[in-house]
Amino acid sequence: MSNTPKTLLSFDFGLRWIGCAVGQTLTGTASPQASLQAKDGIPRWEDIDKLMAEWKPDAVVVGLPLNMDGSVSEMSQRAKKFGNRIHGRFGIAVHFADERLSSFEARGDIIDDTGSRDFKNQSVDSRSAAIILESWMRQT
């Protein structure tokens, strides 16, 4: 990645919720945003339009939910389709990142932060998106 600071959006694709985070390469950190509702994996595109307009990202990172053995799953294919639609709709570079265990790590972060295992009021999906983005930035 170049030395020019870049703003990035990240998505943790899901069928009912799509986690979202924004980050920047200068510090290599990401912040969870509000999760987006989806219906069978289809987001309300106007919500993504708003995110793109607000953050004006230089690129997007979409988590790729691979099986534990690294093989492609049905969800991986759906996440890839989601990322390709973002690319087609906004003409922005989309990168895919292995997201195995990101939700597990996000749940652990919430427990560490709150001392509670009640995830109802916590966005595991958006914390996962932040973890995915920070991991991707470390690897590039």
pTM: predicted TM-score of the whole model, two decimal places: 0.83
Structure confidence at residue 121 (pLDDT):
42
Alpha helices in 56-140 (DSSP H): 74-90, 102-114, 124-139
Structure confidence at residue 66 (pLDDT):
83
pLDDT for 107 beyond 60: no
Q: Indicate the domain borders of the chain.
A: 7-139
Structure confidence at residue 53 (pLDDT):
97
Structure confidence at residue 110 (pLDDT):
45
Binning the chain into helix, strand and coil, the percentages to the nearest 5 are 40, 25, 35
Q: Which of 59, 129, 69 is nearest to 99 (CA)?
A: 129
Structure confidence at residue 111 (pLDDT):
45
Provide the CATH number for the domain formed by 7-139 in this structure: 3.30.420.140
| Terminal-to-terminal C-alpha distance of the chain | 6
H/E segment holding residue 94: strand 93-98
Structure confidence at residue 32 (pLDDT):
93
Confidence category of residue 67, pLDDT binned at 50, 70, 90: confident
